[in-house]
Amino acid sequence: MAQQGYTVSNAFFNRELSLLEFHKRVLYQAYDHSLPLLERLRFVCIFATNLDEFFEVRVGGLVEMLELNASSPAGPDGLSQEQTLTEVSERAHALVDEQYRIVNDQLFPLLRDNHIRILRRDEWNDAQIEYLQDYFETDILPLLSPIGLDPAHPFPRILNKSLNFIVKLDGKDAFGRSSGRAIVQVPRSLNHMIELPEEVGGAGRTFVFVSSIIHYFMSEIFIGMTVIDSYQFRLTRNSDIFLDEEESEDLLRAVQGELVYRQYGDEVRLEVADTCPKELEDFLMQRCEIKPRDVYRINGPVNLNRLSDLFDLIKDSAYYFTPFVQNMPRLPKRANSYFSALKKQDILLHHPFDSFHAVVDFLREAATDPNVLAIKQTLYRTGSNSPVVDALVAAAKAGKEVTAIVELRARFDEEQNVALAERLQRYGIHVIYGVVGFKTHAKMLLVARREENKLRYYVHLGTGNYHPKTTMLYTDYGLMTSDREIGEDVYRVFLQLSSLGKASKMDCLLYAPFTLHKGMVRRIRTEKENAEKGKPARIIAKMNSLYEEELTNELYAAARAGVKIDLIVRGICQLRPGVEGLSDNIQVRSIVGRLLEHSRVFYFENDGNPELYCSSADWMIRNMFHRVETCFPIKHKKIRDRIIEDLELYLQDNTHAWILQSNGSYQHLQPKGGEEAVDSQAILLDRWAARQLTSV
């Protein structure tokens, strides 16, 4: 990109830094005083989990490449891997400091004001100490395995993300050893927090961290020695799984083998209590092979995600979002089954506003229908104990031909998917692990039904996973249809996944890694050409992430030609908006609110004949070229208009919208004087919760 004075390095944002900006937007939800108290705390916990994964995957990958001397040329943003890691460290340290300021200065005081206390060790009275000592001796001490550090007990291999203490000791043990240091790991089998009974804790709700109990009674672990002090620390490791799929004869067994090593990957971050002496910090850095930039001194409890235990312990509805009632899909009049309904019309599901039960009920009906011959489904993140899986098992028991494409490499769900695959195989279901070198990320369900001596395909295509729990939290679209062209295309995709044939020509589906990227480029160029001819031209694209150089350049070119482009990008965004002569026709917004925006929707004005696609794919290099993805057209005008109305609502949001600035920061939109507040998610909850799914 060298046109009009713009170079590669200033036309694109860095992927890792853009992702950190998203995590920052999540964290800043905890500042929102309009949210219930424990929901604010939940955003802190989500941020902590997000940051863990960021280090495990993104930072871990960069560190691994550097260590292997596999440094690639600078990316589109112009930053080398070393420069990226340095910038990541600076920004991540600032975010962690901000996280603890929010918790220490705002949330903890507010919890106390609401009679929810998390007692520090120096606050315990005699009765509480007596109670906690008994708890320690009966419930904690038997589970501890302290490790004294000496030549016979070298520094242990610290488990990924486990909470530990580095203990400074004085004196000799029964064998005359006096190394002066020990490691104590907090057992993962224990809850993070316990609640004191009212007669001990006092009025209100009183909690204590299990780690605080261990800390207080540390001297009882090292009998006869003096515990000078102990300090919490936590190590994060590279948790990506590497598989040489070409060399793996059995992918299931290969994934199972790699899972064992996930907890012991290379070290990428060390969190340590800020009270820890420099001497012990240096000792940990040396033993953990951590660089100074990767050390995070923590002003408070190490690993704030432990606070999520409160969500199970405190059930008072005043501290949470008001529960919403999902729309329970109802079949159209005179339709007594999904098959008869879908012969007449398509059905759109918008989760979580519409219940996922429609998909489960459709599967259950297919499992018992004598005319259904076969069911094929992709499973990316589902869980082994799922009503979707139960329906597939029921179908297999009923004699249907059932095929499941199980993606074993769905990150951090590998273990569940291995168990899922083994369960499905026990019931005679054909289990396929996708394609070597390509993750199967498409969300597809195909039911083949015999009708009047012919096969008819009934299809569900979605932007999100077949996971009932996430459909309560993620916004996604699902299309149920018996459209012949779509059905035959989906059949061809399943055939491609299960066989070794060449890619089939599709009637209307765009299909990665074959036609999706080209299809998106072609449509962006059509908008550019229409704008140049003075015809109506507009693009609205909603996705989780945008990081693909050619698509970004095509958007720049379309914007320069006069196309109005609105991008709704929740997370990573490579594109730099609002730059004169380059992207002044492009606005990028991110919606961060109660629900996780997850749907992928692409709208093209097309000279007054709009095209609308929903997809399982983001505009990312991996989705376009290294995954199996589907992008499906919305043909029905009423359904198309409904989704466009949703998109326009997101573009009006001035409550949970963040606007990307040309310098890479985000500006939080808020209603200006006299301006009506527009909360898109709240409006959708109100709009769809009471709606009954009748005609479309």
Tens of pLDDT, residues 457-482:
999 999 998 888 888 899 999 999 99
Cβ pair 603, 633 in contact under 8 A: no
pLDDT of residue 448: 97
Write down the domain spans for the chain.
Answer: 3-319, 338-508, 511-689
Q: Indicate the annotated binding residues.
A: 50, 381, 411, 474, 570, 598
CA–CA separation, 589 and 610 (whole Å) = 22
Pairing of strands 205-209, 193-196: antiparallel
Cβ pair 512, 627 in contact under 8 A: yes
Asked if residue 260 has pLDDT above 50, the reply is no
Cβ pair 375, 401 in contact under 8 A: yes
Fold match, 338-508 / 511-689 = yes
Least confident of 364-368, 603-607, 671-675: 671-675
As beta bridge partners, residue 163 has: 234
CA–CA separation, 339 and 331 (whole Å) = 10
Q: Indicate the annotated binding residues for Mg(2+).
A: 381, 411
Share of the chain above pLDDT 70, in %: 89
Indicate the fold that domain 511-689 takes in CATH: Endonuclease; Chain A (3.30.870)
Q: Does domain 3-319 have CATH number 3.40.50.1370?
A: no
Is 441 part of the annotated catalytic residue set?
yes
CA–CA separation, 504 and 511 (whole Å) = 10
The reply to whether the predicted model has a pTM over 0.75 is yes
Higher local confidence (pLDDT), 200 or 171: 200
What's the burial of 692, exposed, middle or buried (CB within 10 Å: 0-12/13-18/19+)? exposed
Share of the chain above pLDDT 90, in %: 71
Q: Which is nearest to 227 in space by CA: 208, 214, 237?
A: 214
Q: Indicate the annotated binding residues for ATP.
A: 50, 474, 570, 598
| Residue tagged active-site, from 215, 441, 460, 517 | 441
Ranked by mean pLDDT, the top range of 74-78, 79-83, 334-338, 557-561 is 557-561
CA–CA separation, 557 and 528 (whole Å) = 7
CA–CA separation, 14 and 513 (whole Å) = 24
| Averaged pLDDT for residues 543-569 | 97
Asked if residue 412 has pLDDT above 60, the reply is no
Q: So what's the architecture of 338-508 in CATH?
A: 2-Layer Sandwich (3.30)
Q: What does the block give as tokens for 177?
A: 């050893």
Asked if residue 268 has pLDDT above 90, the reply is yes
| Averaged pLDDT for residues 549-566 | 97
CA–CA separation, 148 and 167 (whole Å) = 9
pLDDT of residue 381: 76
